Amino acid sequence: MRYSLLIATALLACAATARADGTLKVLESMDAKLQLGQVEFAGGKTLDLTIGIGSALFHMPGDPTDEFYALTDRGPNIDCSASEKITGIPTAQACAGDDKAKLFPRPDFVPSIVKIKLNDDGTFVTTEWIQLKDAVGKTITGLSNPLKAAKTEAAFDKDGKQLPFDPNGLDTEGLVRLKDGTFWIGEEYGPSLVHVAADGQIIERLVPQGLEGDLSGATYKVTGALPTILMKRQLNRGIEGLAIAPDESALYTIVQNPLANPDADAYKTATATRILKLDLKSQQVVGEFVYTLDPAESFKSDKSDEQSDVRISELTAVGVDKLIVLERIAKTTKLHAIDLSAATNILGTAWDKAETSPSLEQIAAADLAANGITPVTKKLWLDSSTYPELPEKVEGVAIVEGKELVLINDDDFGIEGAKTRIVRLTMPDAAF
């Protein structure tokens, strides 16, 4: 059904909700630029896709309080194991029987940085689109990398044809902008950190040491600068959160889940994941700290007892070594205020060596101290069970003037009917 612009705007204004105390407002959008169009699967279903821009959210200090930078991820993708349910096409036909692969209905999608503006009428619009490009200005894709030193996954198009691996491909998930106009992006495939010019051209991609050879075909600069141990990230559990110190002295990033170290069995039950601190001037990692995830059972709206369901989706810096961490499953979002200052710096220690046994990921949280590790301190700042208006799968967080939170969800390109929503929420107390 199609509505006139006037009616649609009125509907969205009514959809914007506020708590009785006036501290929360939900915004939606009818921006035509967020429509990706229909994709038809021959003999199956037709999907009406949108462009998900909720993988990250960043507010530049000094910018108007209604202007933000958001980020798409790699583009619409479907687990091949879910192909029949979502597309109507059995895995055997859609992905040559590879249920560990991904189906990309729009392999031409270009990961992009998006500037957005929030309106007083309960809507938001996009005002600028910055497509990511290689060193010669050619747009990149979000397709899987040809990795041997780390896990990767095959990709198929909507007609069941296997797509070639792309050394330029990025699964973009975290975002910050610097005063010089450049951006840094946190990326899952490597995992990696990507420095991007103001116009979207990739300046350099920092990957775990030893992985750069697998990406020798990339048409932008690739440097091995991150700890090698990060190559043990579980597939699709790489870097999501990214933050920058207010004085721009350091970048902070976090691995979405504990590493599969030494194997996937360790990943499934582990609670210890890793935060990295990167000196921005030298672009060298200077710190690595342990963050312990909350138990899965504590995420009240999800009712999960699978520890691997808990993940980190965002970091936001409120000071040097002081951060807000977004920890979630699907329906439950928590924000924790953390401080790195008293935590043990494990960079370059035995915990960064694959041969260490037991590995960091095999040690229970209660046993970290006995192994000489003090994790970062955590203070719960928000639990979405208190705010039922919040959407599911919140992945972006920005903080404006200390107390106002602006949250955005990842709609997964509308594959299963979700919509992008932005929430403005004034917290009763500051995080620190």
pLDDT digits (tens, 9 = 90+) for 97-152: 999 999 999 999 999 999 999 999 999 999 999 999 999 999 999 999 999 999 99
> Are the C-beta atoms of 131 and 200 separated by less than 8 Å?
yes
pLDDT of res. 402? 80
Question: Residue 38: what are its φ and ψ, rounded to 5°?
Answer: -90, 145
Instruction: Tell me which residue of 110, 106, 102 sits closest to 156, measured CA to CA.
Output: 102
Give residue-wise pLDDT tens across range 182-230.
Answer: 999 999 999 999 999 999 999 999 999 999 999 999 999 999 999 999 9
Instruction: Tell me which residue of 164, 107, 150, 137 sits closest to 220, measured CA to CA.
Output: 137
How far apart are the C-alpha atoms of 121 and 123, rounded to whole Å? Answer: 6
Give me the CATH topology for the region 5-426.
Answer: Methylamine Dehydrogenase; Chain H (2.130.10)
Instruction: Tell me which residue of 167, 27, 133, 144 sits closest to 75, measured CA to CA.
Output: 144
Bridge partners (DSSP) listed for residue 102: 79, 155
> Are the C-beta atoms of 139 and 133 separated by less than 8 Å?
yes
pLDDT of 19 over the 80 cut: no
Confidence of residue 2 (pLDDT cuts 50, 70, 90): very low
Question: ∠67-277-61 over CA atoms, to 5°?
Answer: 20
How many percent of the chain have pLDDT more than 70? 95
> Are the C-beta atoms of 207 and 223 separated by less than 8 Å?
yes
pLDDT of 321 over the 50 cut: yes
